Amino acid sequence: MSPTKTTTHPAKVQYPSVPPGLKLLRLKFRVLSAVSSEWAFKAAWEVFTTPRRLPLKAWEAKALAHATQYWAQAESSRVAYYEWNPGGSRTVLLVHGWEHRASFWGHMAEGLIEAGFRVVAVDGPAHGQSEGKRATLVSFAGAVQAVADIIGQVHAVVAHSFGAACTAGVPVRFNQAAGGQLPRLVLMSVPSSTRNVAARFAELLHLPPSVVQRMGRFIEEQYGRSAESFSLLEGGRHLPVHLALLLHDHLDPNVPFAEAKEIVRHWPALEFRPTTGLGHNRIMRDPNVIKQVVDFIA
């Protein structure tokens, strides 16, 4: 008796459904765009510059338990920042990304403290305990600048994602009273250009090109420079940094790995160390990454 022939079919791929809130937002922008590109732009800009304040996790509270909170005055609002190990020999400034806060650096701060560093971390505007409801590249960089001007000589900056784009793209100026040179800079999961960030935002909300172009014109009107001039592709290699390191994960779902390679092509002196399996956020608290950062800035 011959065996029965069976046919196997590939398993059906299950894609995550679009959240109802995102569906409504996309519908809103489709209607607004049909009525007025200017109305759609204003609504899109508000979404683009308004971070959510996410609930504090238990490990974040633990991270802040041994820190002292201070305040700095930025251009239009007060900025909270935190200090660990004030007697440390050299200062490391930590700059978080979009919808994060200083406490997200808890694991990194612990590793740096064990290595003898004084550690300072800032809450960006409209993030953490800092004042405000909205944040832009420029206002975020202004907040970091306000803290940098207070804390004295900075040996190293470690910055993640949006915070890295602000710090290196605007850019923030460090150690201005001592020549303006920053000994060490570590960038993590940073987008290569504002153009790419805008494209991802437009794809998420299904914005028409006219709205994205209006956002670009608005930035130029506000700051007297093109949106792309804030890009690391434009300015990274010109930063007054002695040594710079880029860490980026192959599987980062938020900022494609290809953007890291693009930054490296435009910044020949940048040291690049790819990671695998850490995504966009876990790279900040991975023990091996923390060790690499400590060794690099030592």
The residue count for the chain: 298
State the helix-helix crossing angle for 161-169 and 194-205, rounded to 10 degrees: 140
- Rounded to whole angstroms, the Cα distance separating 188 from 128 reads 20
Tell me whether strands 118-122 and 78-84 are parallel, antiparallel or unpaired: antiparallel
- Rounded to whole angstroms, the Cα distance separating 94 from 123 reads 10
Name the pTM for this structure. Answer: 0.92
- For residue 11, pLDDT beyond 50: no
- For residue 15, pLDDT beyond 50: no
Contact 164, 144 (CB under 8 A): no
- All structural domains of the chain, each given as residue ranges with its CATH number in brackets, are 21-50+194-230 (no CATH), 70-192+242-298 (3.40.50.1820)
Flag the least confident range among 12-16, 65-69, 73-77, 141-145. 12-16
Look at residue 46 in the predicted model and tell me its pLDDT: 97
Which string of DSSP letters, residue by residue, matches 127-141? STTSS-S---HHHHH
- For residue 2, pLDDT beyond 90: no
Angstrom CA distances, 248 to 209, 255, 293, stand at 29, 9, 13
Q: What is the pLDDT of residues 106-163, one digit of tens each?
A: 999 999 999 999 999 999 999 999 999 999 999 999 999 999 999 999 999 999 999 9
HEC sequence for 34-86: HHCHHHHHHHHHHHHCCCCCCCCCHHHHHHHCCCEEEEEECCCCEEEEEEECC
Look at residue 188 in the predicted model and tell me its pLDDT: 98
What three-state secondary structure class fits 103?
helix
- Rounded to whole angstroms, the Cα distance separating 125 from 132 reads 6
Contact 175, 167 (CB under 8 A): no
Look at residue 7 in the predicted model and tell me its pLDDT: 38
Look at residue 5 in the predicted model and tell me its pLDDT: 39
